[in-house]
Chains A and B, each alone.
Chain A
Amino acid sequence: MVYVVTEACVDVQDKSCMQECPADCIFEGGRMTYINPDLCIDCGACVTACPVDAVFYDAELPSDQEHYLELNERFFAEVETPKNGRKAGKIFFDVDEIAALAPRGKA
C-alpha cells in the first residue's frame, strides 16, 4: 500500500506535497514529482496538499492511471536518489513514458 503521483502532475509540479510530506519521500523529477514507495509512510498528507488532485492511494487509482504505480516505483530504480526528497532538489530525469508525453499546456 502506497501513495502514487499521477499524470495530473506532469508539467505542473506544484510541490505543495513536498512541504507537507513528513517522510520527505516525494522527489521532484524533470516533468513530474514521484513518490518513493520504500519511504512513503501512508499518511496521505500529499493527497490534500495537491492542488490538482494528482495523488492517489494505490487501491483507489482510476483505471486509466493504474500504470503510475509502476512509473513511480521505476523512477527510483532508474535514477540514483538521496534519502530525502525535500533536500534532494530537482532531479533532471523522468521515466521514458513521462519524458515521451507531449508538453502539457499551461494555457
Chain B
Amino acid sequence: MPTTRVAVIGSGPSGAYTAQLLTEESESPVEVDVFDRLPTPFGLVRYGVAPDHPRVKSITTSFAEVFEETPGLRFLGNVHVGTDVSIDELRSHYDAVVFAHGAPLDRRLDVPGEELARVHAVREFVSWYQGHPDQSAEAFALDGRRAVVIGVGNVALDAARMLVREIDDLRRTDIPEHIVDAFAASTFEEVVVIGRRGPGFAKFTNKEFIELLEVESTDIVIDPADLELDAAQQAHVDADPAARRLLTTFRKAADRGILGRPKSIRFLFDRTPIGFVGEDGAVSGIRLAKTSDPSTIEVLETQLALRSVGYLGKPLDGLPFDEGTGTVPHLDSRVVDGGVVVPGVYVAGWIKRGPNGVVGTNRKCALETVTSVLEDVAARERTSTASTAAEVDELLNSRGVDVVDWHGWRAIEEAEGATGASVGRERVKLHDRDEMLRVAAAHRSLVGAPGHG
C-alpha cells in the first residue's frame, strides 16, 4: 500500500483531531505533519481555554498521547505557513493539505474612539494573561477602577471572571508569575458586561454563569427589570433550552441581590456601544445607546474596554477567503475557489465553520474533513507524489527555519514544569518565544537529533 502524506496547518483542537482521525480512519498508511506557527502545540486549548478551567485543558493529555503513540505523526512547530513555506509548496510536497489554523483576527465595533489606548480586542487580553508569546508581559496594566467587556459570549465572561478572581485561585493555574503579580496589583473594582440585546439572547453558557456566581469576592449585579422579557426574547427562550436554563440562573442571581462584596460584575443589557471617549489618548468612557430606544444615550466611565464581539478568520495568500463570513469557502470540507474544488486542499475547525462551538465540536467537524480527504485518496488513480518527511525537513532546514518538533515541545513542557515546581505550582507557562526556542534548541543540541518526532 502506498503511503499518503498529509499536512495539517494548525495544532489546535481541529488540527489535532484531524491528525488523529486521519491515522485512525484510514485503511491505507497515512503520515501526517502538523504545522504550527507557535513553538507549542494545542492552539486555543493552551491559549484560549481559561486557566481556571484545568479539566477542559486536560484534553491535551489525550492529544499528546496521539502524538506520542502514532507512528508517522509529527509536530512541526515554529513554522510560518505563507512565509517559511508557501501554500503552493505545501500542495506540491503533500498529497493533501488541511487548513485548521482557526480564526486569529477579531471583529471590530467600527465606532469612533476605538483606536484609543486601553480599548482592546478581548483576544489580546486573553492572550496576555495566558502568556501567549505574541503579547508582551507589559501589554496590560490593571490600574483602573472600572473595566467594560462588550459582548455576552463565554470569552467575555472568562475575561470578566479573570478580572475579579482571587489571587490564590490564579496561583493554582499555569499562568506566568508576572501575570499573577499584575492581577494581584489590579485596582479594578467593577467589571461591566455589556449586551446589545436582552438577557434572553445572552450567548454564554449557564455553566459559565454559574461559575461567576461562585466567585466569592464578587457581587453579580443584574437589574431584575431586565428579566421581564419582551416578546422577541420570550419566543427565543421558549425555543432554546440553553437560554431557558441561563434565564433560571439570571433569576437566581437577581434574587441573591447585592451582598456588599469588594468587587462586582454588573450586566448591562439593551445597550449598543456608539463610541469611546478619551483622555490623553487613552479611553476614559464608553458611549452607549439604548438598543430599544437609540435616542437615550449615556456615557459610562471606564479605564479598560475589551470588545468581545467575535473572532474572525484571516485570509492567507493562495487560499480563497470569504470576507463576509471570515471563513474559507468549501464543499464538504473541500476548499472551493469560485465554485470549483481546489484539489487536495481542505479545511477544518473555525476557518471552515466560523468561530463557534467547544473543544468537542471540532472532533465532529474534523471527522467530516477526514472523510472527504480519505474519499479523495481512495478515488485517486495515481500513487502518491508527496515528498518524504526527510525532504520536508531538508526544505525547511535550507531556509533556516528553526523547527520545534515534538521532543522540542516536551523540553519546553519540562521547563514549564520546573518553573512551576519552583513556586509550588504544577506548571508555569513560559511567556517569551525566544526563551521557548532556546529551551527547545538546548534540548536538540543535547540529543543531536534531527527534526524527527
A and B physically associate: yes
- A interface, CB within 8 angstroms of B: 1, 19-23, 40-49, 53, 56-57, 59-60
Which chain A residues border B242 with CB–CB below 8 Å?
47-48
Q: When the two chains form the complex, which single residue of A1, A21, A57, A59 contacts B360, counting CB atoms closer than 8 Å?
A: A21
Query: B56, A57: Cβ atoms under 8 Å?
Result: no
Q: When the two chains form the complex, which single residue of A19, A23, A44 contacts B59, counting CB atoms closer than 8 Å?
A: A23
Q: Which of B95-103, B161-169, B203-211 contacts A (4 or more CB under 8 A)?
A: B203-211
Which chain A residues border B361 with CB–CB below 8 Å?
20, 45, 48
Question: Interface 1/0s, chain B 227-259, versus A by CB < 8 A?
Answer: 000000000000001100100110000000000
Query: A45, B205: Cβ atoms under 8 Å?
Result: no
Query: B207, A60: Cβ atoms under 8 Å?
Result: yes
Question: Interface 1/0s, chain B 331-364, versus A by CB < 8 A?
Answer: 0000000000000000000000000011111111
B196 to chain A, nearest CB (A): 22
**Cα distance A83–B270 in the bound complex, in angstroms:** 47
Given A23-B62, A60-B207, also A44-B358 (CB < 8 A): yes
Query: B359, A47: Cβ atoms under 8 Å?
Result: no
Query: A22, B359: Cβ atoms under 8 Å?
Result: yes
Given A20-B361, A43-B360, also A57-B207 (CB < 8 A): yes
Query: A43, B358: Cβ atoms under 8 Å?
Result: yes
**Cα distance A24–B351 in the bound complex, in angstroms:** 25
Residue of A nearest to B245 (CB): A60
Residue of A nearest to B367 (CB): A19
Given A48-B242, A60-B210, also A42-B55 (CB < 8 A): yes
A91 to chain B, nearest CB (A): 21
Query: A20, B245: Cβ atoms under 8 Å?
Result: no
**Cα distance A49–B359 in the bound complex, in angstroms:** 12
Given A45-B358, A48-B242, also A20-B210 (CB < 8 A): no
Query: A22, B206: Cβ atoms under 8 Å?
Result: no
B53 is an interface residue with CB less than 8 A from chain A: yes
B304 to chain A, nearest CB (A): 28
Question: Interface 1/0s, chain B 43-76, versus A by CB < 8 A?
Answer: 0000000000101101100100000000000000
**Cα distance A38–B62 in the bound complex, in angstroms:** 14
Query: B210, A45: Cβ atoms under 8 Å?
Result: no
Given A47-B205, A47-B242, A53-B241, also A41-B364 (CB < 8 A): no
B371 to chain A, nearest CB (A): 13
Query: B359, A45: Cβ atoms under 8 Å?
Result: yes
Q: Which 10 A-B pairs have the closest CB atoms?
A: A45-B360, A22-B360, A20-B360, A53-B241, A57-B207, A42-B55, A41-B55, A22-B359, A45-B358, A59-B210
